[in-house]
Amino acid sequence: MRLTGWFAVALLLVVSSMEVRASDEFDPTPIGQPPSAPADQFAEPTPSPNDIIHFPRPPKPAAIGIAPAARQPAGALSGRIVYMSGGHGYTADSSGVWYTQRGNGQSMVEDFGNLDQMTMYAMYCFNAGATVVPFRPVGYQSLEIILDNDDPGVTFLGTWTNSAATVYYGSPGDVPYRFASKSPIETATARYTPTIATAGFYPVYCWTRDGSDRVPDQLYRIASSGGLSEVRINHRRVGKGWIYLGTYFFQPGTSGYVEISNETSSGLGTYVFADAIRFGNGMGTINRGAGVSGKPREDEASRYWVQNGIGQGASSSIYDGSSTDQDDNVGTPPRMASYMNNEAEGTFVERIFLSFHSNAGGGRGCDGLYNNTSLFPGTATPHQFRWATLQGRQTNDDMVAIGAPPLENAWTVRGATDSAVTFARTDYAFGEIRNDSINGEMDATISEVAFHDSSLDAPLLRDPKVRNWIARAAYKATVKYFNEFATGTLALLPEPPINVRATANNGVVTVGWDPPGSVVAGGDAPTGYVVYKSFDGYGFGNPVVVPGGAATSTAISGLPTMTPVYFRVAATNAGGESLPSETVGVKFAASGRPKVLVVNGFDRLARTLNPIESGPHMGGPTGATGSYERVKPRKSNSADYIVQHAIALSSVPGATYDCCANECITNGQVTMDQSVYKAVDWILGEESTTDKTFSAAEQTAVTNYFTAGGNLFLSGSEIAYDLDSQNNGRTFYRTKFYSQFSADTATTYSVAASPGGIFTPGLTFDFNPANGAPYDANSPDVLTALAPGLACLAYGTGTIAGVQANSGSYKVVNFGFPFETITDASKRATVMTQVMIYFGVPASGVDHWELY
């Protein structure tokens, strides 16, 4: 299937004649250099013997799983610092009422769209090797664990010394931080072990003071369910705030950690430092007079993220220099960038600042913003106009090239001149990118990615594919900036591999893929690939490096039998590492036995799948409560639903399986051979008419499989609608699945076993996202059974949710909702087991009672 990564495609920004709104782009705060650091900012005193600390090293976890990457890839942005922000966010007024700075229109709120855009941009920059410094949190994780160096969850090995510095993370009276002498061979570590309450993806951040006595490559090891990932940060150049180390999947408990090592091969610097580590973003804790916001930190304005993480010894004027929080928020990101940045290390053009906004005022497309130095002397950074031009031009050119379709509406064509893709006001200078706010330490621009008040742009901004393409374009412009001004490598990340599959034979797993090929507005060609493994389907690591851009497979041996193993593939080149492919997996036995083939046919990623959120005070303290869409791809299509199916199949004693993208079937890369695969489990999620649930070629493949006596379990919320109601395969649907479309929505998430069907009488479950479904299948098909088919499941309204049929030569089970959205894992296991019993999949010799 074509969906890759968190949602894979390209991204872009747009521009046309426009009017940038004024209100909070203007920063009324008096501009001046941020408070200078105290004298101990740049060096530590020689350790006293009395300061030496020895702690026993805690035991390593018995088993470590897999992570999104084994390390941060090296790439075109290695050694570069990218400071970034997303404008606006929930803000408190003088009475403490929390409100969004922009209103709810066209089913979106700019405050949240800016954060969603920044998160995607951070992903590209990280994969290209950049040090990512965000001024709103990356991603979505409302839980948090912060461990300071003197907290109980932190243990030390080797010789560490307490600092007496006055700039540090923590509370007054804490041990400021600890430091250890560097070594070419690791002799000292500091391990931060959180107690994770709930499994999930957690952004991880470090907080360490910068200074000239730091090594340029401090090593952070992140142990997640995917194993060990390594990230190196140059704290000679950046510190005193949260620095992003990547997002990783952690299982509940204490198996995960971050470890700081004193190992370095660099001749620069003397020490490594251990201060604070953050797991997750958390909920807002700042009370501005009427209580906390009650919102995740990522939905709040950057002012509060900076305030929460500012540390001891810093001036509150960085985030609180104006009469209102909304005015504060304009200048907080550049002031914090200047405060965190050590301009004495490296050159001016080795760091950059970019903030994301969307526009209003009757135009269309993307603009890069700059300040007019003729009107406002001293307010533009040295190469600001060029940086703005690169952003505006790249986004515009990419999006126009992509075209419609796949864009819902064609991107507006801005002119060929630089002025056509940039904008400066004549009545004031933009406060967020003022040279005097950022203390002249780096170039800065705002990307106004499109117009959220445009009936043509707004649907695009709500499309996760478009947001991804815009992020990709912004990242490409970043690479081009560093190439132009800092002689950086001009190499762009490759696109993700496609048509991924995993098959097992005689104990050897072959993971295959196709190169991404030529993608409009895409990256450079791959020169190799990395195959990552996982034992839980979410944390990936243990990379297998496959050289050669033309490579299409690798064989992996030594994996455990009768154990689910998952795989993702990324493409690599000098630019870094692509976003990952979709997830596939296998489970194999020591000896051959009939298998199940799991086919992932859920490719769709569209704004119509976006999660819906709601909140009060939209657009101001007196604004109304409203509902709006969010661009959160994991809540729409995370491309890893093989995991729910695989776990459920693993409850069937003796069952084994291979997995592939649906395109592999029609490409002939995986054959639905009934002698190999006794059953096929075809995942269709919310796939619908545009992406086709079953193409003509797939209908032929399924028909041939049925003729040979194969059995099919299919589930999805739009199969009947696409094939039968819209007649994209009506005869096929009715004569092969013995089902008929009845209605487009069941108006309920509740399901129960039907009398006389294959499921245990009294079985009930739901697929409600409020109860934990991975996405909202809010329009499940209502079915009618056609002889010899009969109802096996009923919705809470009494209408048919599932049909089973025995044609005499094959069997089929057809659900009008996606199987993976069943909220109770034990119910998923029961349902899958009873489907497989119906197909005769359990291995011979397995007692029937063992299935329950």
Look at residue 696 and tell me whether its pLDDT is greater than 60. yes
Whether a cis peptide bond, with omega within 30° of 0, leads into 47 is no
Residue 143: predicted pLDDT = 98
Q: Where are the alpha helices (DSSP H) in 341-463?
A: 384-402, 457-461
Residue 358: predicted pLDDT = 98
C-alpha distances in angstroms, 719 versus 199, 477, 739? 32, 41, 10
- How buried is residue 730: exposed, middle or buried, by Cβ count under 10 Å (0-12/13-18/19+)? middle
Look at residue 139 and tell me whether its pLDDT is greater than 50. yes
Look at residue 37 and tell me whether its pLDDT is greater than 50. no
Provide the 8-state DSSP code for 605.
Answer: -
What's the pLDDT band for 64 if we cut at 50, 70, 90?
very low
Look at residue 58 and tell me whether its pLDDT is greater than 60. no
Q: Please give the Cα distance from 174 to 784 (Å, whole number).
A: 68
More confident: 563 or 55: 563
Q: Which fold, 671-852? A: Rossmann fold (3.40.50)
C-alpha distances in angstroms, 747 versus 735, 779, 801, 831? 27, 7, 12, 22
Residue spans of beta strands (DSSP E) within 364-516:
367-369, 422-423, 443-451, 498-505, 508-514
More confident: 656 or 66: 656
CA angle 329, 332, 335 (to 5 degrees): 160
The domain limits of the chain are 671-852
* Other Cβ atoms within 10 Å of 393 Cβ, number: 24
What's the pLDDT band for 67 if we cut at 50, 70, 90?
very low
Mean pLDDT of the residues in the chain: 91
Q: What does the pLDDT average to over 712-736?
A: 98
Biggest CA pair distance of the chain: 86
Strand 422-423 with 508-514, pairing? unpaired
Look at residue 210 and tell me whether its pLDDT is greater than 70. yes
User: Reduced to 3 states, what is the DSSP secondary structure of residue 805?
Assistant: strand
CA atoms within 13 A on the CB side of 716: 28
Q: Please give the Cα distance from 5 to 638 (Å, whole number).
A: 8
Q: What does the pLDDT average to over 151-171?
A: 98
Backbone angles phi, psi at 28, to 5 degrees: -80, 0
Q: What does the pLDDT average to over 445-449?
A: 99
Segment 187-205, tens digit of pLDDT: 999 999 999 999 999 999 9
Residue 306: predicted pLDDT = 98
Segment 636-645, tens digit of pLDDT: 999 999 999 9
Q: Please give the Cα distance from 523 to 10 (Å, whole number).
A: 9
Q: Please give the Cα distance from 466 to 606 (Å, whole number).
A: 9
User: Reduced to 3 states, what is the DSSP secondary structure of residue 636?
Assistant: coil
Segment 214-224, tens digit of pLDDT: 999 999 999 99
Question: Token pair 């090797």 is at which residue?
Answer: 129
Look at residue 722 and tell me whether its pLDDT is greater than 60. yes
Element (H, E) at 614: strand 612-615
Look at residue 92 and tell me whether its pLDDT is greater than 70. yes
Segment 339-364, tens digit of pLDDT: 999 999 999 999 999 999 999 998 99
Q: Which has the closest alpha carbon to 339: 176, 205, 167?
A: 167
* DSSP secondary structure string for all residues of 387-414: HHHHHHHHHHHHHHHH-TTTSSSPPP--
Q: How many helices (H) and strands (E) does the chain have?
A: 12, 44
Percentage of residues in the chain with pLDDT exceeding 70?
90
Segment 786-814, tens digit of pLDDT: 999 999 999 999 999 999 999 999 999 99
Q: Please give the Cα distance from 376 to 266 (Å, whole number).
A: 44
User: In the 3-class helix/strand/coil scheme, how is 238-277 assigned residue by residue?
Assistant: ECCCCEEEEEEEECCECCCEEEEECECCCCCCCEEEECEE
Q: Please give the Cα distance from 529 to 515 (Å, whole number).
A: 9
What's the pLDDT band for 843 if we cut at 50, 70, 90?
low
Structure token pair of residue 153: 């969850």
197 Cβ contact partners less than 8 Å away, ≥ 6 residues apart? 143, 252
Q: Please give the Cα distance from 272 to 109 (Å, whole number).
A: 42
Least confident among 543-557, 584-598, 764-778: 584-598
Look at residue 418 and tell me whether its pLDDT is greater than 60. yes
Least confident among 2-11, 207-216, 516-525, 727-736: 2-11
Q: Please give the Cα distance from 70 to 543 (Å, whole number).
A: 6
Segment 816-839, tens digit of pLDDT: 999 999 999 999 999 999 999 999
Q: What does the pLDDT average to over 283-300?
A: 96
Backbone angles phi, psi at 337, to 5 degrees: -60, -45
